[in-house]
Amino acid sequence: MSGIVDVVVNDLMQRSYRYTRSAPMGKCFDPGFRPELTPELMLQLGVFCGKYMTDCKAEFPTQWFENAKLAIHRADCTLNYFGVRAGSPLSVWVEKGWIHPDDPRGWFQWFCRYYSGRRMPDEDRRQIGRWKAFKRHAAQVLKHCNQGDPFCRPKQRQALLQWAYDSRQL
């Protein structure tokens, strides 16, 4: 991608939401933000019980969805890489004030848009700070599990995947 791209979003949670992609896809990240997974790989591995992005395909590259594990009707946590539900419902995120109005689905929506080139300096700093703080879960997996044992702390491992940390080989 080159240049600036204006995006208009019309999905189940946003109507006529507009933003600009000013950075190249997958590049020019904040130096302190080094996700281990791309949104495309996360969707292929299985995250958010397959329901997260089912109505957002028009906003993102087609290839992100070619091999994505998506649920057709309702959430199916067997689609998650570790086969378990990991995380709280969106209502909890809203209640705790973790949701920014521009990203009503939460962190992963912010990450997909950031990865795609949208930049919102204040919100980017906030979300990158949350991402950095989440890494503490990797330390817990390493402390309490044998390396590569997917049956040890699968909820924490799944949650790490959902925050772009590759927990498959911890």
| pLDDT by position in tens, the chain (length 170) | 457 999 999 999 999 999 999 999 999 999 999 999 999 999 999 999 999 888 999 999 999 999 999 998 899 999 999 999 998 888 888 898 889 999 999 999 999 999 999 999 999 999 999 999 999 999 999 999 998 788 899 999 999 999 999 999 88
Own/partner contacts of 2-9, CB < 8 Å, gap of 24 or more, are: 5/117, 7/59, 7/116, 7/118, 9/56, 9/59
Report the half-sphere exposure of 69 (CA within 13 A, side-chain side): 19
Residues in the chain: 170
Q: Parse the chain into domains and list their residue ranges.
A: 5-72+88-134
Q: The tokens of 101 are what?
A: 């109005």
Q: What is the pLDDT of residue 2?
A: 58
Q: What is the pLDDT of residue 109?
A: 97
Angle subtended by helix axes 136-144 and 121-134, to nearest 10: 10
pTM above 0.75, yes or no: yes
Q: What is the pLDDT of residue 1?
A: 45
**Rounded CA separation 19/42 (Å):** 23
